Amino acid sequence: MLFSGIPFLFYFLPCVLLVYFAVPQKGRNAVLLAASLFFYGWGEPKFLLFMVFSIVQGYLFARLIERGRRKKLFLALSLAVSFALLGYCKYADFFIENVNAVTGLSLPLLKIALPIGISFYTFQIAGYEIDVYRGSVAAQRNFIDFAAYVAMFPQLIAGPIVRYRDIARQLKERTHSLETAASGASRFAVGLGKKVLVANVLAQLVSAYKASAEQTALYAWLYAIAFTLQIYFDFSGYSDMAIGLGRIFGFTFPENFRYPYIAKSITEFWRRWHMSLGTWFRDYLYIPLGGSRCSRARHIFNILVVWMATGFWHGAAWNFIFWGLFYAVLLMAEKFFLLPALQKGRLLPHVYVLLAVTLGFVLFDAASLRGALRQLGLLFGVGAVPGPGTEALYMLRSYGAVLALAVLGATPLPAMLLQEARKAKPLAPVFTVAEPLCTLALLALCTAFLVDGSFNPFLYFRF
């Protein structure tokens, strides 16, 4: 079940909200847990076994860690169990394929279907265990509350990665108000619009390119730019929907995106893109390895390890690993040489970031390293057919307006203009009426697109 689907919008969510607000405060976590398990098991009920097992072991090991005796052993066991399960589901075939390639063996692949969201809830449980070990949070004694935290459907399948310490108090006590619910509904509608009206439309251009035999540089650039915008609006849209749903249910989830495409350096880009993942790797891997407070050689090693892990987290393929290492190289170059010059520049730093990110996403989206090299070559005319190409020109005319609007929407300009308009006293009464009407209109427009059977892919299914 996806947020951007009719079953979720018009059957599941209304029923859950009705039951959730009908029961007393003490029973709402149980309702949320039951709804989350139903939501997760909608497509493949067998995947519930992986999630329930992860929740149970996380709950039990945290209680053992908190007791203090052999807590390092219990932490190691919990992390081993969590990452072994993730490794089995997500990476087993990758390792078997590479063993076969190196040794010449023909070991059969396991062909395991990847449980949706397993990377997200594995990281949440691992972070929780480490925080209990460090003493920064107390182990949750109520199993229902802990299970609701891990399985919470608003942020389960695409993040943000919510730290237990950020919502521990809200699991016990949270307030609900019409104003907060309206704010959450508005944020959800914006995220849904990003996904359905922008990301899904751009996905049609990306799909058309992949199905086409036309190999021109113009078409390759249209694809690269479209995918770069698609993945932003898809992922940030899901994050907006998760944050909005969290507000409706009384939770405050962390922001996950802050206009990353306006960054002036790759360092800044990663402070704005998928922020919950970046801070997770910083707090639980980079800093424990020694961070930057070490020799230069060790610092380089730490960066390489973290970014190889970041790439591998995104997918079990070499192109993801090299995508992570690509950013590691750029970040090291900035830390040791480029950052002062980038901070002083105006236009060129933005061009550098956008070019690097676009090339990076071509690598990210490739089916193989060979395919990535071919696509990167086409961007610069290597192997490309001369001329713009008739299909590329047709796609430029057909999707040019959407691409332009997406570029504008990826900047803070629309939000800034809206904020300034809100500050104008004569317009205050207008916004009081217009905002809920705009939210309803946006939901209606998205529904029309979904009912019409518009293309509705889910990019982050593999995570």
Positions marked active-site: 314
The answer to whether residues 159 and 242 touch, using CB atoms and an 8 Å cutoff, is: yes
CA distances from 400 to 392, 403, 407, 461 (A): 11, 5, 11, 28
CA atoms of 25 and 21, how far apart (whole Å)? 8
Angle between helices 217-248 and 178-193 (to 10 degrees): 160
- In this structure, the number of other CB atoms found within 10 A of the CB of residue 209 comes to 20
Secondary element (H or E) of residue 351: helix 347-365
DSSP H helical segments within 44-91, as ranges?
47-67, 71-86
Contact (CB, 8 A) for 306 and 286: yes
Among 86, 91, 90, smallest CA distance to 53 is for 86
The DSSP output letter for 335 is: I
Q: How far apart are CA 353 and CA 381, in angstroms?
A: 21
Stated length of the chain: 463
Three-state secondary structure of 418-444:
HHHHHHCHHHHHHHHHHHHHHHHHHHH
For 279-286, the CB contacts below 8 A with 24+ separation are: 280/123, 280/127, 280/161, 281/306, 281/309, 281/310, 282/306, 283/127, 284/126, 284/127, 284/130, 285/309
For residues 22 and 28, is the Cβ–Cβ distance under 8 A?
A: no
Q: Tell me how far apart the alpha carbons of residues 265 and 342 are, in angstroms, rounded to a whole number.
A: 7
